[in-house]
Structure 1
Amino acid sequence: MPLPRVQFLTGAALAVVVLAGTACSADATPAAAVTPPPVKAGFDYQIGGAYTPASDVKVVSRDHTAQPAAGLYNICYVNAFQAQPGAEGEWGDLLLRDANGKVVIDEDWDEALLDLRTADKRTRVAAKVDAWVDDCAAKGYQAIEPDNYDSFTRSRGLLSDADAQAYIRLLSAHAHAKGLAIAQKNTSELSDQRQANGLDFAIAEECGQQKNCGEFTPAFGDHVIVIEYTDGGLKTACSRWGSLSIVRRDHDVVPKGEAGYVRKTC
């Protein structure tokens, strides 16, 4: 779906031009048009498989292939900056390659990085991800979680934070046009650019473990969801940033009932 080139803000007499690969202010969509998750709400991270949420859960994040949880605030997970393992063939020339033509891989998750170095490629990558966003909106999700915003840090210097930000502005403009809030995933070093990049809340993994949850709050206030993968990280997050939504999950985020499942809260 092509991005609108001009959007007029009712009552503000302001036209915002949205061009592929250029900056897009968060003001391009009125704040009332999207609703971020409620603060300090019970959260469950279900991107590894959907299951019935516990009674304390008010907000859940699920993969875009899953249905949202009835009666809750639902966040739709999309791997927006990297290819899922086994799906590399779907991306063609949009995979990031080094000078020798070798695909650049995120070794931790065995995922190929996507090539965001030109406006043309950013627009083409965004078109594919936007189709998932459209599906999320049609299913009734309220927000989008575009994962691996920080993939430029694993690109062997081939991608820059400017590339990542130019691309995420395309995603945020499209999400807002669909009435969806959009998260900043990790990447605390870019939090001060949240408004310019059109990001509504943050999802921070292991900021308790890394003791840096406070790097998100100046920009996002209490609109931060914290996911920890160790008991120590959970304890630190709860004791120091108890006003945030905090959960501890197992590293593979498996569904409840499977071996290794863990979910704890403050």
Structure 2
Amino acid sequence: MRRPLLVALLVLLLAGCTQGPDDKPGPRWQPRPGTAWQWQLSGRLDTSVDVPVYDIDGFDHSEATVARLHREDRKVICYLSTGAWEEFRPDAKKFPKRVLGRGNGWEGERWLDIRRTDVLEPLMAARMDMCRDKGFDAVEPDNMDGYRNDTGFPLTAADQLRYNRLIARLAHDRGLAVGLKNDLDQIPELVGDFDFAVNEQCAQYDECGALKPFVEAGKAVFHVEYEVPTGRFCAESRRLKLSSLLKKYELGAWRQAC
């Protein structure tokens, strides 16, 4: 007579020890200020750079590549464009023409109407699923400052805040850390929503001080310059505790670190 009760108790115990699909994900990775990194979005991936963080294209690389980097004790960031459409992506045809704006300066890319979250949220959720399923630790969402650009849409700062927070939530719901890309003016409002920052050319435009809130919150700032030699920005980067590199615009393997 005790056997059914024992089986029922065992089932309940196992259920309590197993994470179901609706359970919240575990703690996210949190990169700290000064963490060294490599950012490579083009060319054959060079995995020989001795750094603990790699930022690579989420579409171009496989689960096996991410696993290999993990075996080498690296954390891996999934690069995605979340604020602009790219004609060369496998999901490009899923974006209706009504959300496509003006070109963003890169061939085959157009700004997105970030007000249309009814259209964009499921598309970006699917991309986040891809990053999670491939085993990435974090996401670098690009083109997160459309409201400061000529997108073809009357985007406002409030539109950008709402969309950027949506992107952060989609990443966090999947257990992924997420970085704020550029968007310097909104850092005070968004530093609490993001786990790190990624910045381009703050030294060239004398803007690196705007990134202090991330460092003060114990969050890494992954920073790149393209046109300024290391001798002109590395001392300041070290003082601010930025993770700074000199790269070429094509973002191949070549790098000079501070």
Q: TM-score range by the shorter chain?
A: 0.7 to 0.9
- Of 27, 35, 38, the match for 1:33: 27
Partner letter of residue 224 of structure 2? I
RMSD between aligned alpha carbons?
Answer: 2.3
SS of corresponding position for 2:42: coil
SS of corresponding position for 1:39: coil
Deviation at residue 162 of structure 1 after TM alignment = 1.4
1:169 maps to 2:165: yes
Deviation at residue 220 of structure 1 after TM alignment = 4.1
- Counterpart Cα distance in 2 of 1:194 and 1:263: 29
- Of 39, 43, 54, the match for 2:48: 54
Deviation at residue 195 of structure 1 after TM alignment = 4.4
- Counterpart Cα distance in 2 of 1:237 and 1:109: 30
Aligned residue number for residue 85 of structure 2: 83
**What pairs with 1:1-266 in structure 2 (closer than 5 Å)?**
33-49=27-43, 51-65=45-59, 66-67=61-62, 68=66, 69-70=69-70, 71-86=73-88, 89-96=93-100, 103-117=101-115, 121-154=116-149, 155-156=151-152, 158-195=154-191, 198-221=193-216, 223-232=220-229, 234-242=230-238, 243-254=241-252, 256=253, 262-266=254-258
- TM-score, with structure 2 as normaliser: 0.77
Q: Where does the alignment leave 5 or more consecutive residues of structure 1 unmatched?
A: 1-28, 97-102, 257-261
Partner letter of residue 47 of structure 2? P
Deviation at residue 44 of structure 1 after TM alignment = 0.9
- Residues 45-97 of structure 1 show CA distances to partners (whole Å, capped at 9, x for unaligned) of 1122451333431111111121322321111011001011445543114424x
Deviation at residue 180 of structure 1 after TM alignment = 0.8
Give the helix-richer structure, 1 or 2.
Answer: 2
Deviation at residue 139 of structure 1 after TM alignment = 1.4
Deviation at residue 123 of structure 1 after TM alignment = 3.2
Deviation at residue 157 of structure 1 after TM alignment = 5.8
- Counterpart Cα distance in 2 of 1:116 and 1:223: 26
Matched length: 220
CA change 1:209–1:235 in 2 (3 A) is farther
CA change 1:94–1:128 in 2 (3 A) is farther
SS of corresponding position for 2:83: coil
SS of corresponding position for 2:233: helix
Q: Where does the alignment leave 5 or more consecutive residues of structure 2 unmatched?
A: 1-23
- Counterpart Cα distance in 1 of 2:38 and 2:168: 23
- TM-score, with structure 1 as normaliser: 0.75
TM superposition outliers: structure 1 runs of 4+ over 4 Å: none
